[in-house]
Amino acid sequence: MNKPKVIFMGTPTFSVPVLEMLIENTEVVLVVTQPDKEVGRHHILSPSPVKEVALAHNIPVFQPEKIKNDYELILKTPCDLIVTCAYGQIVPEKVLEYPPLKAINVHASLLPKYRGGAPIHWCLINGDEKTGVTIMYMDKGMDTGDIISFQELTILPEDNTGTLFTKLSVLGANLLKETLPSIINKTNERLKQDESLATMAPIIKREDEHLSFLTNGQAIINKIRGLNPFPLANILVNQEEFKIVEANFIKKENTIPNKVMDIKKDGIGIGCQDGIIYLTKIKPFGKKIMTVKDYLNGINKEKIKNWEII
């Protein structure tokens, strides 16, 4: 077979390395991505990162509002394989079965763990020590298809969702490049997922973003890392939302959860179940992200001691 004809489906920056790899190694005949969306306070209509790459390479782009109702263009486009990566919509089974080599997905977890739309967030929030990427066949379920290949990645203490997005997107592109020849010549492995080990990673909801200092310090740090840089963890301070970007934890006895226990030049210490969480980078309501050191330079520190934290 010459270069296989591929239809690629993806949307965010995470998908870009996979698309770029496919452009170099296959013939990408169509890119399917989410419709342009309004971005920023001025609501500027902007294309997805995947669309920008496709247009730069003169690849046709298809942006159905709801692919479950609008997919005929895909079925009219001759191809050998469909590759998806963080597309953002459930793909109809008729589309998945269309190409001779079927449809595969690049998923940012070690399946069957963390099926769903936010696997990177949840592996950090849950305090996992490793994550990875799985190449899998797609079926009508949510990330339930047979596993073709996978690769693990150790989660470092300094990692957050942003750093893991970058690492796993590159890892996914490289793993797909290694796996693609066996898929094309139909010699790849095909492993059924163990349903007893399956866990879900649903899209982060607004209520998931709130921090509770009634739990242990490590769990709080994990959540802050898992929500950084988006959508960011938050607390309410005197009924105003504070987003927490970075913090560290010191284990200590006899602390009072939700109470300011200490104020340093570069940190505001809030009591939790087993110690103190020192906020080091925050986004106060209506302001930009700043270090706590800069925040303290412009505020009466005595008022901070009386913060009412929810």
Model pLDDT for residues 215-263, shown as the tens digit of each residue: 999 999 999 999 999 999 999 999 999 999 999 999 999 999 999 999 9
Segment 275-292 mean pLDDT? 97
DSSP 203-272: PPPGGGGB--TTS-HHHHHHHHHHTTTTT-EEEEETTEEEEEEEEEEEE-SS--TTSEEEEETTEEEEEE
At the top level of CATH, which class does the domain 5-197 belong to?
A: alpha beta
206-304 and 5-197 share a CATH fold: no
The reported pTM is 0.95
Give the start-to-end residue ranges of the domains of the chain: 5-197, 206-304
Q: Provide the CATH topology of domain 206-304.
A: Methionyl-tRNA Fmet Formyltransferase; Chain A, domain 2 (3.10.25)
Residue 1's pLDDT is: 54
Cβ neighbours of residue 235 under 8 Å, at least 6 residues apart?
Answer: 210, 211, 213, 241, 242, 244, 309, 310
- pLDDT tens digits, one per residue of 176-193: 999 999 999 999 999 999
Segment 126-154 mean pLDDT? 97
